[in-house]
């Protein structure tokens, strides 16, 4: 992929001190690889300005967060004349700040504003934007802002908190995703900002800005799991074939652990049955090639869902201290999205036909 000159600038963090002066200069470590949660949104209209897909590569990741440049805020006045010298932006620009409350073990993220969003249908027609905030790799827990009506430069001034230890926070990546809601209540994805928290000073609460990028996906830091699904109506059984995993990276933290795949069958939110593969020696790429079978009544397919998880286990303490490394949640619309939902729908719509897909592993959702 040819290098896009706007990418380093677009993801540069810019910060100011209390009086609008340059407070510090920082080059952050590389952003860990994450797959963005698949968005159930309306695609871009052909009338809108086409945005090229952005994917982190091994050469680009080291430059995605460059040196911090001064923002032109003046005491957070948010006047339209605050940033006269900033470069133009194609997809919009987002302002935010962060502080860590050590006493409460909370990361407090203040969403300040977004400016210069593209109008609807390639014109200056206003939108109804809102923002979702994720603390990756937890892709299921998010904070959602209020919807701002009829504007391309929404002002939010909202603070959202994440319960997380300081050590854990420094391993995370903050993601802002900006959407527009049209009259049909359909969401349109307008762009994303990803911020690596490693190396950032979370005590100052500096105001920072970054341009939105229409990122579609990047490789997961946890790795991927390949499995197949097939539904046999005559025997009312779902067969799931656990094939292989790749790009797993637990060896540094768990050097002596083996790994197996655990499949949990749920009806609604109640676990009905659990099955697992045999344990194998842990490695970045693993082959399982095992088939597991579950009895599922056809009438229960809409409430049925599965959690397929890679588990780490110690050979010296079998079963007692197993750790969930990463998971894939798959099922009907109420329980899954994106590739996982498509895979499930393929199985339901084509009985007796084996459907095989790779899935990105996600961390276990944290309680809110």
The domain locations on the chain are 6-211, 224-360
CA 229-236-271 angle, to 5 degrees, is 70
Q: Which CATH class is domain 224-360?
A: mainly beta
6-211 — its CATH code?
2.60.40.150
Contact 311, 207 (CB under 8 A): no
Q: What pLDDT does 181 receive?
A: 87
* CB within 8 Å of 152: residues ≥ 6 apart: 92, 115, 116, 117, 118, 119, 124, 126, 127, 129
What pLDDT digit, counting tens, does each position of 28-82 carry? 444 444 444 444 444 334 334 333 333 333 333 333 333 333 333 333 333 344 5
What pLDDT digit, counting tens, does each position of 158-210 carry? 999 999 999 889 888 899 999 998 887 777 889 899 888 988 889 888 899 99
What pLDDT digit, counting tens, does each position of 98-121 carry? 999 999 999 999 999 999 999 988
Q: What pLDDT does 229 receive?
A: 97
**Residue 210: CB atoms within 10 Å:** 23
* Cα first-last separation, the chain: 39
- Interatomic CA distance for residues 1 and 58, integer angstroms: 11
Span 11-29, average pLDDT: 41
Name the residue with higher pLDDT: 54 or 221. Answer: 221
β-bridge partners, 196: 173
Range with top average pLDDT, 25-29, 69-73, 242-246, 331-335: 242-246
Confidence of residue 17 (pLDDT cuts 50, 70, 90): very low
Q: What is the pTM of this model?
A: 0.46
- Interatomic CA distance for residues 211 and 89, integer angstroms: 7
**Could you check whether 6-211 and 224-360 share the same CATH topology?**
yes
């Amino acid at each position: 992929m040819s290098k896009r000159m706007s990418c380093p600038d677009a993801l540069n963090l810019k910060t100011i001190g209390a009086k609008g002066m340059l407070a510090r200069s920082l080059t952050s470590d590389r952003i860990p690889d994450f797959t963005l949660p698949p968005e159930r949104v309306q695609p871009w209209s052909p009338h809108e300005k086409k945005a090229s897909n952005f994917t982190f590569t091994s050469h680009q990741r080291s430059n995605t967060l460059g040196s911090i440049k001064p923002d032109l805020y003046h005491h957070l006045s948010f006047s339209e004349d605050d940033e006269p010298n900033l470069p133009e932006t194609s997809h919009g620009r987002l302002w935010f700040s962060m502080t860590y409350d050590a006493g409460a073990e909370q990361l407090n993220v203040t969403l300040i504003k977004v400016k210069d969003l593209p109008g609807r249908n390639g014109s200056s027609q206003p939108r109804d934007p809102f923002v979702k905030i994720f603390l990756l790799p937890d892709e299921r827990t998010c904070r959602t802002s209020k919807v701002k009506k009829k504007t391309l430069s929404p002002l939010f001034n909202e603070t959202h908190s994440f319960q997380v230890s300081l050590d854990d926070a420094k391993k995370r990546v903050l993601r802002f995703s900006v959407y527009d809601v049209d009259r049909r209540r359909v969401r349109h994805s307008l762009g994303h900002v990803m911020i690596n928290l490693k190396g950032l000073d979370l005590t100052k609460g500096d105001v920072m800005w970054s341009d939105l990028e229409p990122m579609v996906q990047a490789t997961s830091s946890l790795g991927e799991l390949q499995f197949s699904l097939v539904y046999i109506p005559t025997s009312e059984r779902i067969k799931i074939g656990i094939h292989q995993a790749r790009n797993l990276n637990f060896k540094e933290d768990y050097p002596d652990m083996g790994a197996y795949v655990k499949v949990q069958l749920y009806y609604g939110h109640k676990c009905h049955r659990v099955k697992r593969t045999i344990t194998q020696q842990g490695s970045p790429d693993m082959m399982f090639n095992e088939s597991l079978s579950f009895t599922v009544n056809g009438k229960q397919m809409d409430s049925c869902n599965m959690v397929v998880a890679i588990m780490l286990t110690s050979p010296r303490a079998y079963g007692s201290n197993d750790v969930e490394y990463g998971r894939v949640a798959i099922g009907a619309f109420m329980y899954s999205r994106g590739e996982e939902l498509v895979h499930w729908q393929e199985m339901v719509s084509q009985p007796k036909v084996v459907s095989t897909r790779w899935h990105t592993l996600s961390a276990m959702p944290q309680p809110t």
